[in-house]
Amino acid sequence: MTLEHIKMTIAGLWMLTAVVIAIVVDPAWAGRIMLAAFGFLPPLAILLLWNDPAQTMSERIHEARR
- Please list, in sequence order, all residues whose beta carbon lies within 8 angstroms of the beta carbon of residue 25, skipping any fewer than 6 positions away: 31, 35
> Where do the structural domains in the chain lie, given as residue ranges?
3-65
Long-range contacts, stretch 39-46, CB < 8 angstroms, 24+ apart: 39/14, 39/15, 40/15, 42/14, 43/10, 43/11, 43/12, 43/14, 43/15, 44/11, 46/7, 46/10, 46/11, 46/14
Report whether pLDDT(9) > 90. yes
Residues 30 and 3: their CA atoms lie apart, in Å, by: 35
Tell me the pTM. 0.69
**How does pLDDT run across 33-62, given as a tens digit for each residue?**
888 888 888 888 888 888 888 889 998 899
